Every structure is written in C-alpha cells, then in structure tokens.
Amino acid sequence: MNSPLTNNRPTVGKLLRAATLCLSSDGGIDVARQRLETGLAEAAGDGVDLVCLPESAFWPTFDCSAAEGADGETAAYYAALAERHRLHLLAPLLLREKSRLYNAMLWFAPSGELVWSYRKCHPTPLETERGISPGPLSFQPHDSPWGVMGCAICLDINYHDVMERLAAQSVRLILFPTMFQGLALMRAWARMNRCYIMSAASVQYGCLVDPLGRTPIAPWAHDDLMTADIPFDYEVVTTTYANRFPGIRRKYGRQVIIDRLELESSALLASLHPEKSAQDILAEFDIPTEIDELALC
C-alpha cells in the first residue's frame, strides 16, 4: 500500500538501527533462505529495527518465470519472517501486476503487513529485454515511524529524475539495493540531497554514506550483516556559525551530535533530545540550515 506522506518532520529524538544483509541466489534458493533466516535472527538479537535485502536476491539473472504477485508465496514468506522477528523488512520481488513485471522492493512491518513498495524506474537493457517494465516516476517515499525513507534500485541512482524526486520529498534515508557498488554516486547524491544512503549488495561492498558525503561504514569493512545507528532528526548547516556550537554542546551535552567537515565548511547537527528537534535547537541559537543560508546568497 502506498499512501501520501502525512508528516515530513522526523520523529524527535529517535535513532533508527538499520541493517543490510549480503545475500544472493548463487547457491540456490534454499541456501539463500537459510542465510536470510539466520541473518534476520542475528539482526533481531542485536535490536535492529529495519533490514534491507539486496536486489534480486531470490531469483537468478532476472528469470521472469519467478515473477509473483504481492499476495504470492514469496511475499507471504517475507511477511512471516518480519512478524516472527518483530522487525521491518524491505525485500526484493520480481513483481507481477496484471500484464506487467517489475523489479520491486516490498516493505513489511513487524505485524507482517505489506505497507509500502517501490518499483525500479530504470531497468537495465537486459531486464527490459526479459519483459521487466519501468516503475512509475510518480512513486511516493515511505512515511516510516522514524521519518521519510525512500528507495533507489541499482541503476536508478544514475538518474536525476529518481534522486531529485526523493530530495523533493525530504527523504532522510535512501535504501539502495544494488548489483554494483556505486560509491561515487552514493557520495554525490547523499551530499546533494543531504540524506543518508545505505546500500545492500550480494557481497560486502555495501556501505553507508552520511549527509556530508562521508562513509561511516566503508565497503568491505563489515560482516555480511552491516548494522548502523542512524539519527533521523538532523539538519545540515555551514560552519559560518561554528562559534555557536560550543554553547549548544554546553546546554544539551550528549543529547546533541555535531559533526564538522571543516574543509567543506559543513556540519551535521542531530538531536537526540526527547522534546526538542534539531530545527528547534538551531532556531534557539539563531543558526540557519545550509539550504536557508545558501538561498540568501
């Protein structure tokens, strides 16, 4: 189910513990499912809120005979896993809808309910040859319990129409299931969109890029289950007002995170305060966001 966004403002003071799991169907579907179940059990034991799986993890080379509806056996399997482990699960499906096929990702809530889906907007030529259709560019991001999240599947990250639509919807985290690393594009779009991008791949070149374009978790520097705590209540500012940062730290202590990227004259301010948002704190200290400051230039 895709519904219009109800609230673009992030939930104040919340961290999302997100994870991606390296997974492929190379050893067969049964082996992939066993690895998935083991990985989700590990994630649940580590307090993970959301697990994102790689693109096409359960069908080899876009074999269109594997296509199913969102009410099919594979979707039911994902729903049962999400409910069993009480976590959110974003999982791949070669989706059949009437006469069309899509390379899709489906979001299952801890209740097992299918709450959101995304269809790849820019299939590769190989996918198109095999009958996979482009997803609609009118897609809506997901208004999650933490804030607005979106998805870009593999080749999508190359295209302004997808990434700029995500930016226009104030997406805080883009989940990027992919079959190529795409690190340079991830860093560019994370910085331009001022958001986190977390990739899920079949091998360990998945990574996390933050809104300043840095790589807190680098490719090949993690286990098959890559886990990160992501603050959703943040703003990007310039260091023009860096002389006010010490006052913020004195007042709010560990309830605020301020990360500076000095050579780029940028900083990320995140609030962990139970009542005050990052916007509230910036307003209190008369600091504009980077977007607002640049609009005056």
- CA 35 vs. chain centroid, Å, equals 22
**Which of 180, 213, 231 represents a domain boundary (last residue)?**
231
- CA 188 vs. chain centroid, Å, equals 15
Q: The domain spanning residue 25 has which CATH number?
A: 3.60.110.10
Burial class for 149, CB neighbours closer than 10 Å (0-12, 13-18, 19+): buried
**Which of 231, 252, 280 represents a domain boundary (last residue)?**
231
The pLDDT of residue 3 is 38
Do 145 and 107 fall within a single domain?
yes
Domain assignment present for 150: yes
pLDDT in 10s for each residue of the chain, 297 residues: 443 344 455 665 589 999 999 887 777 788 889 999 999 999 999 999 999 999 987 776 667 888 999 999 999 999 999 999 999 999 999 999 999 999 999 999 999 999 999 999 999 999 999 999 999 999 999 999 999 999 999 999 999 999 999 999 999 999 999 988 899 999 999 999 999 999 998 877 789 999 999 999 988 888 889 999 999 999 999 999 999 999 999 999 999 999 999 888 999 999 999 999 999 999 999 999 999 999 998
Domain assignment present for 253: yes
Do 28 and 90 fall within a single domain?
yes
Among 247, 253, 230, 231, smallest CA distance to 282 is for: 247
Residues spanned by the domain of 102: 15-231
CA distance 197 to 195: 7
Domain assignment present for 37: yes
Do 274 and 222 fall within a single domain?
no
How many structural domains comprise the chain? 2
β-strand pairing of 266-271 with 234-238 = antiparallel
Do 283 and 267 fall within a single domain?
yes
Domain assignment present for 2: no
Cβ-contact 51, 88 below 8 angstroms: yes
The pLDDT of residue 237 is 98
The pLDDT of residue 204 is 78
Do 218 and 253 fall within a single domain?
no
Do 120 and 240 fall within a single domain?
no
The pLDDT of residue 28 is 78
- pTM > 0.85: yes or no: yes
